Chains A and B, each alone.
Chain A
Amino acid sequence: SAVISQKPSRDICQRGTSLTIQCQVDSQVTMMFWYRQQPGQSLTLIATANQGSEATYESGFVIDKFPISRPNLTFSTLTVSNMSPEDSSIYLCSVWGGNEQFFGPGTRLTVL
């Protein structure tokens, strides 16, 4: 199993600012996934973060808006840049471990 923690758990930010979300896993994993869940919607994959290489972004998401770091096999950060109210969402990191998908508790972001 994998235990995932995220920081912060929630934040309220002003438009135009940036927020960095941290994801820590208690075991080494090759891939870490960052998801966004907009209000009332299901999860959408933002990008896949591999250690030692550039993150792979899904259609509609770009590195300038959502830069990702993956400095080692247990940690990753997602930055939401130049925020607007449309970025208000829950952001979740996730890992694949064995036969199960594990999710962090999420970061609830509100942009005013």
Chain B
Amino acid sequence: KNEVEQSPQNLTAQEGEFITINCSYSVGISALHWLQQHPGGGIVSLFMLSSGKKKHGRLIATINIQEKHSSLHITASHPRDSAVYICAVRAQGAQKLVFGQGTRLTINP
């Protein structure tokens, strides 16, 4: 079993739909990251969470430390949101990140 599991692996939706991507992890963490990877390969950091909830534009990320679970939500989705979204955790006392397998999101116009 991977330390970081994401669901779904693939998600296709229509423009305007509310999107939720889930991430579960099995280790104690100091932080959880949500990353976005576009087809060219470049990776952008969206959020770093250690508790609670963060919002940036149409993106919302939440984390429940007790349940070892995080969600990334996209409101009013748009085709430009199409990308791979990756959850990564930093274990307590560690510097390196452990990555989930990613969720490939496609938003159709």
Contacts and interface: CB of A to CB of B under 8 A. Distances in A.
Interface of A: 31, 33, 37, 41-45, 48, 58, 90, 92, 96, 99-103, 105-106, 108
B66 interface: no
B97 interface: yes
A25 to B, nearest CB: 15
A106 B42 contact: yes
A101 B102 CA distance: 17
A102 B45 contact: yes
A45 B96 contact: yes
B48 A42 contact: no
B100 to A, nearest CB: 6
Contacts of A92: 41, 43
Contacts of A41: 101
B96 A33 contact: yes
A33 to B, nearest CB: 7
A71 to B, nearest CB: 21
Q: Chain B binding site: helix, strand, loop or mixed by DSSP?
A: strand
Which 3 A-B residue pairs are closest in the complex by CB-CB distance?
A103-B43, A106-B41, A42-B99
Contacts of B96: 33, 45, 48, 58
B89 to A, nearest CB: 11
Contacts of B88: 43, 101
Nearest to A90: B41
Given A42-B86, A43-B99, A105 B42 contact: yes
Nearest to B2: A42
B101 A101 contact: no
Interface string B37-52: 0001111110010000
A14 B88 CA distance: 33
A96 B102 contact: no
B81 to A, nearest CB: 19
